[in-house]
Homo-oligomer: A and B are copies of this chain.
Amino acid sequence: MALTVVGSLAYDAVETPFGKRDRMLGGAATHFALAASFFDTVHVVGPVGDDFAEEDMQILATRGTNVDDVERVAGGKTFFWAGRYSANLNQRDTLDTQLNVFETFEPKLSDASKAAEVLFLANIVPDLQHEVREQCERATFVAMDSMNLWIDIARESLEKVIARVDCLILNDEELEQLTEAPNLVQAARRVLEMGPTVVVAKQGKYGAALFTADDMFWVPAFPLETVVDPTGAGDTFAGGFVGYVAAHRAEPLTEGMLRRAMAYGTALASFNVEEFGTERVARLTAGEIAPRVGNLQRITHFEDKPVELRG
């Protein structure tokens, strides 16, 4: 079994209250792959320029990730993003976005990438997501991300892709914007009527929520004493979540399995934010993950007891 991700590979310049990096490996597909590679063989599809360093390709290939479909565009430059975070990391300003090779990107999937049973469409132009989705005929679980920009300028295309995927992973406020619902529960219900059977709402530092036809699940972000750089946390979460599902593709997609996938996504994302960019997850080892999932369970569990109430 294999897992294909289509999305951005990038260089990021990031400044947080705790330091800065002028040029570090980033991109949605990168963060996704580094997390998902703990669970399955990941095939990465995305473009880079001449400037993409061999050592960064090595990082992308961590834990056996297949980089054969990383397209090196001759004469092109890698996607570049620069941003600065506020004091409490709650807000970030984009200082620069250079699409570069991403501007003319047309995903070309090898047979190996097309054959994946699980597919993740990271945040790119909805029409490209749709094209890729149609190419992966064998995929039995397709998840996707998107962003407010596409809701604003390409809603029709976006809704077309959403109708063709099993799982939409989006920020809570984007879900509300997409559905024009006044709250997250209503927003999720409306997405479940659009096609997906699973909706995941990312809530940033507050955690994430899972919605299916019959159930809901809420998990907090893993509490940390040290948060250095939130860049890529959402894609790392998605990598852990979708990776977990991919590793258990032989089983039915039960609520219990999806909840565990949420927990592993949460654990992976928590490592990501402890250092800049990919630094922490690139050298993360398998043995470090399960204890954090165990702690997540401990800090969310309570035992109810009957209580005598008045009135």
Chain A: residues with CB nearer than 8 A to chain B? 17-18, 37-40, 62-64, 87-89, 173, 176, 182-186, 189, 203, 206-207, 209, 215-220, 223-225, 227, 244, 247, 256, 259-260, 262-264, 284-286, 289-290, 293-294, 297, 299-311
A80 to chain B, nearest CB (A): 27
Q: Which residues of B contact A63 (CB under 8 A)?
A: 310-311
Which B-chain residue is minimally distant from A288 (CB atoms)? B309
Number of chain copies forming the complex: 2
Choice from B184, B207, B216, B225 contacting A183 with Cβ under 8 Å: B225
- CB neighbours (8 Å) of A290 from chain B are 304, 306-307, 309
B223 contacts A220, C-beta separation under 8 Å: no
When C-beta atoms are compared, the residue in chain B nearest to A248 turns out to be B307
Given A206-B207, A218-B220, A302-B219, verify A182-B227 contact (CB < 8 Å). Answer: yes
Listed by A's residue number, 29 A-B pairs whose Cβ atoms lie within 8 Å are A18-B182, A38-B310, A62-B311, A63-B310, A63-B311, A64-B310, A87-B182, A89-B182, A89-B183, A182-B227, A183-B227, A184-B223, A185-B224, A186-B225, A203-B206, A206-B206, A209-B223, A218-B220, A218-B300, A219-B300, A260-B303, A260-B305, A263-B302, A264-B307, A290-B306, A290-B307, A290-B309, A300-B300, A300-B301
Which residues of the partner chain B approach A215 to less than 8 Å between Cβ atoms?
Answer: 299
- The docked-state distance in angstroms from the alpha carbon of A125 to that of B262 is 43
Q: Which 5 A-B pairs have the closest CB atoms?
A: A286-B309, A218-B220, A259-B302, A63-B311, A206-B206
